[in-house]
Amino acid sequence: MTGKKIALVTGANKGIGFETSRQLAGLGIKVFMGARDETRGAAAVEVLRAEGLDVESVLLDLTRSDQISQVRALIEKNFGRLDILVNNAGMAHPEEELFVNSTATVSRQALRQTFEVNFFGLVELTQALLPLIRKSPAGRIVNVSSMLGSLTLHSDPGAGLGDFKLLAYDASKSAVNQFTIHLAALLRNTQIKVNSAHPGWVRTDLGGKEAPMEPEEGARTSVALATLDNDGPSGGFFHLGETMPW
């Protein structure tokens, strides 16, 4: 057992998840870094341990129920609770190009594969870990979404999204936002806070080279929501402290 806060960040071996892990660990939090590739996860952990940070790699592919169960068992056995869950792992299917409206062409397979990771896996993991989060004195759940999941922005021709219409990816993030709202309602009489985060357009494998933000800045919204005070919001959608439209 430990007096430290315990966090799990999914998709943590690179990009925004890696930086989220670094920043949380820099605040004195023990961070389990979930990665679907064991070798890459271990390499990421070594980088942060060399910086003196308390991090540990866990094998976690969100499409694998057995790995979700194993992560839950590991945390339960060693700590008995989970204080922070950052659902960061996500994918955009190769069929979908960043500036092309995929609505008439995206395949059923692409839709299913995207939802399997971005929504179904996220929900299954959160449900599995919720009993441990309930044991935290101040549980925090952060669902990493995207402004591309905003129905309000997509339906506004003046919002600047133009042909950023990746149906599978965007719909999966809209579903994540709905999960945030529903879970926050379920937990409204508890100490747990649940919020969606828009990290921004970040220069990662998913965001592409054209993105204006670095992963360090992209991680800041998740870190802020993961470390909210007791009077902080729940059931909202935020980017760098600003409320995003659903």
**Annotated catalytic sites, by residue?**
169
Distance in angstroms (rounded) separating the CA atoms of residues 234 and 219: 19
Cβ-based neighbours of 147, under 8 Å, separated by 6 or more:
153, 161, 198, 239, 244
Distance in angstroms (rounded) separating the CA atoms of residues 112 and 91: 12
Edge-first strand order for the sheet with 84-87 is 55-59, 30-35, 6-9, 84-87, 140-144, 193-197, 237-239, 242-243
Beta strands in the chain (DSSP E): 6-9, 30-35, 55-59, 84-87, 140-144, 193-197, 237-239, 242-243
Q: Which of 154, 176, 151, 157 is nearest to 165 (CA)?
A: 154
Are 144 and 16 within 8 A, CB to CB?
A: yes
13: which 2 tokens? 């071996």
Distance in angstroms (rounded) separating the CA atoms of residues 130 and 183: 10
